[in-house]
């Protein structure tokens, strides 16, 4: 547990010079922000049955009890009991609940960031109905406030809030987008002043999967809708969300929401990226404290709507068998159960379902920023092995998903385990099968 701590503490954080007591105060203030009836009910309900471990891919892969999900929420739970619970004055008076210390927070860094992808499977198994994943998310927020979020996530979050890009790149991503369009003989709508739809892209696709970017352009051109990409709001991922920083998440969110408002957009399309969907679809309005004047849809949702309306026509694939990975943030936490299957059905995909599918799907192992942490590589690999085995068990020849972050994870796992499948994008398949 100390390895990660040693990697991250001190120089990891932007507020390096904070004293331990300042870190503790900041963490407590952030925790206190989340003390409400809903959260309190979750924290009060735990019966210590340990079942959440049986849903967690990190625990199942390692059988190490420190990965028990509810244990990851311990600092937050402890803070609640001491500061806000029914018997808080009693606990404080007799010293029965200790203050959350910097040492404790540092010890929890690995548990909150490296070994939780916020997939939410633990919330489904809990017999009490505790939203364990949300408790862990609040734990992350406390860590970020205390300046103890992992450096790779915090640096990218700050950079993205400042510039719109999580990292320096040789060229601005808007130029990369134009090059991809040019390479594929496509016209791309970029930086229009008015449009009905604002499109965003995963930076991983811009960097690693240009075919996916081209697929998005091709599909939206073909549909003939009024859309645009915006240079100032191009990247869908929200590293503020990964890092647990409310402030940075808000600034990054505002880049997109402000651009959409300025455009007069009626719709913002989240590309194949699960956490971007959570950040925009379910958290943007909450973190900004206002209802959004536009709808937010995942690209598969939007295309399924177009399919139903008869505006999207797809030809059939050649009958090969496919397995499909349901990205956690889209399916289990986001409710997009049917849209990908509607699209696959329209393309005549011979879908061989995994044992754990839809809401029960295992995480790819790398969501929630885990892909970005070198310190999590070994644990990630072990969790990925579970998933690869399940995919192979379907007997499918090809493998699809609808999240670029999941693709990054599967590609890494594929290389590590010399896997015989390539992870393909559902949107790329749609673009291939779209009728001219």
Exposure letters 351-372 (e unless 16+ CB within 10 A, then b): bbebebbbeebbbbbbbbbbbb
Strand partners, 115: none
| Edge-to-edge strands, sheet with 423-425 | 350-351, 321-325, 398-401, 423-425
Tell me the pairing of strands 227-229 and 197-199.
parallel
Binding status of residue 179 toward another protein by CB under 8 A: no
| Cβ proximity to another protein, 126 vs 270, nearer residue | 126
Distance of closest approach, residue 295 Cβ to another protein, in angstroms: 6
Q: How far is the CB of 388 from another protein (least distance, A)?
A: 18
3-state secondary structure of 296: strand
Return the residues of window 253-312 that contact another protein according to CB under 8 A: 281-286, 289-292, 295-296
42 or 209, CB closer to another protein?
42
Contact segment (CB under 8 A) with another protein among 83-91, 142-150, 304-312, 411-419 equals: 83-91
Binding mask 94-133 for another protein (x = CB under 8 A): -----------------------------xxxxxxxxx--
Closest contact distance (angstroms) between CB of 267 and another protein is 11
Which stretch of DSSP H or E encloses residue 425?
Answer: strand 423-425
317 vs 337, which CB is nearer to another protein? 337
Binding flags for another protein, 349-388, as an x/- string (CB under 8 A):
------xx-xxx----------------------------
User: Applying CB under 8 A, which part among 48-56, 189-197, 204-212, 314-322 lies near another protein?
Assistant: 48-56
Site for another protein contains 89 (CB under 8 A): no
Q: Which of 233, 234, 232 is nearest to 216 (CA)?
A: 234
Report the C-alpha gap between 98 and 113 in whole angstroms.
23
User: Near another protein by CB under 8 A, which window of 47-55, 108-116, 223-231, 401-409?
Assistant: 47-55
Which pairs count as long-range contacts for 38-42, CB under 8 Å and 24+ apart, including other chains? 39/80, 39/134, 39/135, 39/138, 40/80, 40/84, 40/85, 42/130, 42/131, 42/132, 42/134, 42/135
Distance in angstroms (rounded) separating the CA atoms of residues 146 and 50: 28
Q: Is residue 92 within 8 Å of residue 98, measured between CB atoms?
A: no
Q: Which is nearer to another protein, 45 or 420 (CB)?
A: 45
Q: What is the DSSP letter of 298?
A: E
Binds another protein by CB under 8 A, chosen from 5, 7, 9, 68: 68
Give 227 or 277: the residue with its C-beta nearer to another protein.
Answer: 277
Identify which of 179, 191, 173 has the alpha carbon closest to the alpha carbon of residue 229: 191
Binding to another protein, residues 324-343 (CB under 8 A): 331-337
Cβ within 8 Å of residue 128, ≥6 positions away: 45, 46, 47
According to DSSP, the residues that pair with 298 across neighbouring strands are 270
| Subset of residues 206 to 245 that bind another protein, contact rule: CB under 8 A | none
| 85 forms part of the interface with another protein (CB under 8 A) | yes
Query: Least distance from C-beta 168 to another protein, angstroms?
Result: 33
**Which residues have a Cβ under 8 Å from the Cβ of 350 and sit 6 or more positions away?**
319, 320, 321, 322
* Shortest separation between residue 266's beta carbon and another protein, angstroms: 12
- Shortest CA distance to 29 belongs to which of 83, 90, 95, 102? 83
We find the least distance from the C-beta atom of residue 368 to another protein, in angstroms, to be 16
The residue range among 1-9, 80-88, 190-198, 367-375 that interacts with another protein, by the rule CB under 8 A, is 80-88
Strand order across the 295-298 sheet: 227-229, 197-199, 267-270, 295-298
Query: What is the size of the binding site for another protein (CB under 8 A)?
Result: 65
* Calpha distance 220→224 (Å, rounded): 6
Q: Is 66 in the site for another protein (CB under 8 A)?
A: yes
Shorter beta-carbon distance to another protein: residue 14 or 359: 359
Q: Considering beta carbons, is residue 9 or 300 the nearer one to another protein?
A: 300
CA pair distance 221, 146, nearest whole angstrom: 46
51 burial (CB, 10 Å; 0-12 / 13-18 / 19+) is: middle
Q: Of the two residues 237 and 301, which places its CB atom closer to another protein in the complex?
A: 301
Return the number of the residue (160 or 278) whose C-beta is nearest another protein. Answer: 278
The region of 79-87, 101-109, 156-164, 186-194 touching another protein under the rule CB under 8 A is: 79-87
Contact between 181 and another protein by CB under 8 A: the answer reads no
Residues 7-46 that bind another protein (CB under 8 A): 35-42, 44-46
Interface contacts to another protein, rule CB under 8 A: 35-42, 44-51, 53-55, 59-60, 63-66, 68, 70-71, 84-87, 123-131, 281-286, 289-292, 295-296, 331-337, 355-356, 358-360
């Amino acid at each position: 547990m100390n390895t990660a701590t040693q990697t991250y503490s001190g120089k990891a954080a932007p507020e390096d010079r904070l004293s331990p007591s300042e870190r503790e105060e900041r963490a407590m203030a952030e925790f206190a922000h989340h003390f409400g009836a809903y959260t309190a009910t979750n924290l009060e309900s735990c019966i210590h049955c340990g079942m959440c471990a049986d849903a967690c891919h990190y625990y199942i892969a390692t059988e190490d009890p420190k990965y028990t999900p509810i244990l990851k929420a311990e600092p937050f739970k402890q803070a609640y009991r001491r500061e806000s619970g029914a018997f808080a004055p009693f606990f404080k008076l007799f010293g029965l609940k200790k203050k959350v210390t910097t040492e404790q927070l540092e010890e929890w860094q690995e548990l909150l960031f490296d070994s939780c992808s916020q997939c939410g499977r633990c919330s489904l198994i809990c017999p009490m109905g505790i939203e364990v994943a949300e408790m862990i998310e609040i734990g992350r927020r406390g860590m970020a406030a205390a300046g103890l979020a992992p450096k790779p996530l915090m640096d990218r979050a700050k950079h993205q809030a400042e510039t719109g890009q999580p990292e320096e790149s040789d060229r601005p991503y808007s130029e990369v987008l134009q090059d991809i369009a040019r390479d594929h003989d496509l016209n791309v709508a970029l930086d229009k002043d008015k449009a009905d739809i604002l499109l965003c892209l995963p930076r991983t696709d811009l960097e690693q999967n240009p075919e996916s970017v081209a697929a998005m352009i091709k599909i939206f051109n073909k549909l003939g809708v009024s859309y645009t990409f915006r240079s100032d709001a191009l990247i869908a991922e929200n590293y503020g969300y990964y890092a647990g920083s409310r402030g940075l998440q808000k600034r990054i969110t505002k880049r997109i929401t402000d651009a959409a408002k300025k455009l007069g957009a009626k719709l913002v399309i989240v590309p194949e990226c699960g956490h971007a969907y959570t950040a925009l679809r379910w958290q943007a309005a909450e973190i900004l404290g206002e209802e959004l004047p536009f709808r937010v849809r995942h690209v598969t949702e939007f295309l399924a709507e177009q399919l139903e309306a008869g505006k999207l026509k797809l030809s059939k694939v050649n009958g090969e068998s496919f397995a499909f990975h349901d990205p956690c943030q889209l399916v289990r936490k986001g409710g997009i159960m049917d849209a990908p299957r509607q699209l696959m059905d329209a393309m005549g995909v011979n879908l061989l379902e995994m044992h754990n599918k839809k809401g029960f799907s295992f995480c790819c192992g790398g969501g929630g920023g885990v892909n970005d942490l070198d310190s999590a590589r070994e644990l990630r690999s072990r969790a990925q092995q579970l998933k690869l085995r399940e995919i192979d068990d379907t007997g499918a020849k090809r493998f699809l998903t609808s999240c670029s972050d999941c693709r990054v994870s599967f590609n890494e796992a594929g290389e590590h385990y010399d896997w015989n499948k390539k992870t393909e994008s559902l949107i790329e398949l749609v673009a291939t099968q779209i009728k001219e």
